[in-house]
Amino acid sequence: MLLLRWLWIGNGKDGEIPPIAVFWTLRVLMFVISFVLEDWALHELIPSPKHRRVAVLLVASSYVTWTYQTHTFSNSVETLVVAWSLVLIQRVADPRQRSCVLSATVLGIVGVFGVFNRITFPAFLVVPGLRLLPVFWKRPTSLVYLTLAAALTTVIAIGLDTAFYLPGPITWTDLIHKPVITPLNNFKYNSATENLAQHGLHPWYQHLVGNLPLLLGPAAALLIIRPKLSIRLWSAVSGLVVLSAFQHQEARFLLPTVPLFLSSIRMPRNQTILYGFTTVWIGFNLVLGSLMGIYHQGGVVPGQVFLSQQPDATQAIWWKTYTPPIWLLNGKNEFLTTRDVMGLKGEVLLEQLYGLATCDTPADRRNQEYLKEKNGTYLIAPASATWLDPYLSNKGLEGLRFREVWRYRKHLNLDDLDFGDDGVWDTLARVIGRRGLVAWRVTKSCPN
């Protein structure tokens, strides 16, 4: 960010860097880091040059690499940490290495970072970690250095989290008696079914039959038919098994398995089948890349940028969308309260809106006079949320009034697919035909 600020000033720009510029910088940075570090890790993990070329090509051409991995998801970071933990384990276990102290030390640091990033991280190292047991037996010094590095990193991580989450300056007494241990708190939260229910509960096989094929596409078939047994494959399998034990299962949770699985398949030898696979692979990634990289929840970031430019906005209610990043509000979050009510029932949403809506004024509603008001309530929701339709056309004197002030067409709400109640075609017609994210300024009639 310091380098970005230097470049910003060097180009004659004054003031603070706009959050949207930081956002796109982070996207590009994650894209480059993912490409470089994933490819590097695969070059070290795969000894066969021929198989290595195929694995690198599959990972680079996967839509997961150029959509999910460009996000600053903890899952995207976990993908890199898992890959490089496997590299470090391989280096420590390599009998040709005279000394593995450095690799063991770095592994201790990276391992703790991985745990504090996501508590599911150790699941990917259960099987690969077994390779270290004979090494530590023969070279106990490596275990000592790994343990010391991990312990020191843990203390630093707890100290940073405690300083961040506790109000005011912290003391050594706070670290001893009131430490904030993020992985422990995360585990407690995710162990409670009522907490997971707020995000959605899934059957244990959701990852296996739904999410994994969504990420791998036609490569999932090759993984079953022609797998290449390797430590990478067992790492991915162990992670998949542990993640399937949790009741809340999203596709992005499996991101670390993608390069591991794609580097553990054999390509078809038959040229006709190979040509067919290649064609389907390219088509699959082009379609899913466009869908997940452009349209899926694509209006959330532009929506926040829009709200940051509304001088009257003091309340923003986001319904049926992902949680909006409030740091994109460019400092306006000090005055604008953001409420994420993704799964709220429509009736409860109306009650909240009625309590937050400002009084309707007789100003000319055909212009933007409302921007001069001190307070304003905005509802941001997908255009496909048909539950709102009966209330949007209210022009009378009673109830809430919704004025559409912004619309972004490149937005699909794939979390609102209700095939059970609406049927397949009606659901697709609603979600795709009425794609877009809309912002309404909400007011209400008030007694004089």
Averaged pLDDT, 40-44: 95
Check pLDDT > 70 for residue 31.
Answer: yes
- Find out whether 314 and 337 touch, Cβ atoms under 8 Å: yes
Beta bridge partners of 401: 443
Give Cα 427 to chain centroid, integer Å.
25
Residue 280 has a pLDDT of 97
SS3 (DSSP) at 263? coil
SS3 (DSSP) at 445? coil
Domain segments of the chain: what residues?
2-295, 300-444
Using 50, 70 and 90 to split pLDDT, how confident is the model at 102?
Answer: very high
Check pLDDT > 70 for residue 240.
Answer: yes
Q: Residues with Cβ < 8 Å from 58, sequence gap 6 or more?
A: 219, 262, 263, 265, 281
CA pair distance 130, 58, nearest whole angstrom: 28
- Find out whether 260 and 235 touch, Cβ atoms under 8 Å: yes
CA pair distance 56, 322, nearest whole angstrom: 32
Residue bearing the bigger pLDDT, 80 or 8: 80
Instruction: For 301-354, write each residue's pLDDT tens digit.
Output: 999 999 988 888 899 999 988 888 888 887 777 888 899 888 788 889 998 998
Residue 202 has a pLDDT of 85
Check pLDDT > 60 for residue 103.
Answer: yes
Residue 252 has a pLDDT of 92
- Find out whether 440 and 404 touch, Cβ atoms under 8 Å: yes
Q: Are strands 437-444 and 400-408 parallel, antiparallel or unpaired?
A: antiparallel
Residue 275 has a pLDDT of 95
Alpha helices in 94-139 (DSSP H): 101-117, 132-138
Averaged pLDDT, 239-245: 94
Task: Tokens 């630093």: give the residue.
Answer: 156
Averaged pLDDT, 131-160: 93
> For the chain, what percent of residues have pLDDT higher than 70?
91
Residue bearing the bigger pLDDT, 16 or 441: 441
Q: Among 8-12, 223-227, 309-313, 319-323, which stretch is predicted with the lowest mean pLDDT?
A: 8-12
Instruction: For 46-99, write each residue's pLDDT tens digit.
Output: 999 999 999 999 999 999 999 999 988 899 999 999 999 999 999 999 887 777
Q: Among 92-106, 257-271, 290-304, which stretch is predicted with the lowest mean pLDDT?
A: 92-106
Check pLDDT > 50 for residue 169.
Answer: yes
Using 50, 70 and 90 to split pLDDT, how confident is the model at 131?
Answer: very high
Residue 445 has a pLDDT of 80
- Find out whether 416 and 382 touch, Cβ atoms under 8 Å: yes
Q: Which pair of structure tokens corresponds to residue 143?
A: 């275990």
DSSP letter at 227 equals: B
Residue 190 has a pLDDT of 85
Is the Cα torsion angle 124, 126, 130, 132 positive or negative in sign? Answer: positive
- Find out whether 164 and 147 touch, Cβ atoms under 8 Å: no
In degrees and rounded to multiples of 5, residue 444 shows phi and psi of -140, 160
Check pLDDT > 70 for residue 18.
Answer: yes
Q: Which pair of structure tokens corresponds to residue 36?
A: 């470089």
CA pair distance 295, 436, nearest whole angstrom: 9
Residue bearing the bigger pLDDT, 370 or 87: 87
Check pLDDT > 50 for residue 364.
Answer: no
Q: Among 12-16, 88-92, 273-277, 318-322, which stretch is predicted with the lowest mean pLDDT?
A: 12-16
Task: Tokens 């993704």: give the residue.
Answer: 342
- How many other CB atoms sit within 10 Å of the CB of residue 10? 8
CA pair distance 87, 254, nearest whole angstrom: 19
Averaged pLDDT, 1-27: 69
Q: Which pair of structure tokens corresponds to residue 111?
A: 């391992």
CA pair distance 339, 324, nearest whole angstrom: 9
Residue 344 has a pLDDT of 82
Check pLDDT > 90 for residue 232.
Answer: yes
pTM for the structure as a whole: 0.86
H/E/C letters for each residue in 158-202?
HHHHHHHHCCCCCCHHHHHHCCCCHHHHHHHHHHCHHHHHCCCCC
Using 50, 70 and 90 to split pLDDT, how confident is the model at 9?
Answer: low
CA pair distance 337, 320, nearest whole angstrom: 17
Check pLDDT > 70 for residue 196.
Answer: yes
- Find out whether 77 and 116 touch, Cβ atoms under 8 Å: no
Residue 257 has a pLDDT of 97
CA pair distance 273, 358, nearest whole angstrom: 63
- Find out whether 435 and 412 touch, Cβ atoms under 8 Å: yes
Q: Residues with Cβ < 8 Å from 97, sequence gap 6 or more?
A: 91, 103
